[in-house]
Structure 1
């Protein structure tokens, strides 16, 4: 039985890959090498829109339970962290191959204006986290006269 592998067109044309064969050795032993761990890391892709009153953020967080998602808002900074836990194999089964991520992932970003954290809302449905982040009133820029 052949194990599925990801096709990487650049791997074939790379001039110098001293760890390529070493990675194959680790893969044959059933361990995960560091490059494969990074390759399978949870990606939190997002879209941000705004209107006059609020920012709307949609973040893809597939395979995560809502209890394992944490959102912190401070000023104009937003930090999202998610933890993915997988069921452990019990019994006599042993894992041959896996591409599914397990661990903790973080995503942070800054918004142009401060957010009213008291009125902020978060919803999670179908693997998508939706944030409504109202803008704090009186956050416009002010030009200072030079004396």
Structure 2
């Protein structure tokens, strides 16, 4: 009677599964979208410097034409809107093997401590860097600091 007993192994069925191969297959089946696919440009990165008279903003926008950059100022809020278009075509002679197009819009909006004199503000775009000079409004004291009693 004791010779008919078999040892139970709860993981016995898993021995036939190749874990790493199945794990890799999961990622092969998932479509890669967004920044992982390389289709989305990085977000707009900023450097903001303040002087007594103005704010100086440098924004990285590599590969973008200045015609596709839009900047607006409303009080102390600055908005930067960038449109990017890319087209890529791979050919073998006259036969098109692959053709891809991308269109995207990125925005960056931030507020400053003081209102901006939008009549004196200026913008320049060279070598993938947007430079803004945003003079402070005269007489504007910015945010009022309250004294705590």
TM-score higher than 0.5: yes
Q: RMSD of aligned C-alpha atoms?
A: 3.2
1:58 corresponds in structure 2 to: 58
2:136 corresponds in structure 1 to: 135
Shift of 1:36: 2.8
Change (3 A) 1:47 1:35: closer
Greater strand content = 2
Gaps of 5+ in 2: 1-23
**Structure number, greater radius of gyration:** 2
SS at match of 1:52: coil
Shift of 1:43: 1.6
1:75 corresponds in structure 2 to: 75
Gaps of 5+ in 1: 1-19
Shift of 1:24: 2.2
SS at match of 2:96: coil
Moved over 3 A (4+): 20-23, 37-41, 141-144
| Total equivalences in the alignment | 120
Shift of 1:34: 4.8
Higher relative contact order (CA 8 A, sep 6+): 1
SS at match of 1:36: helix
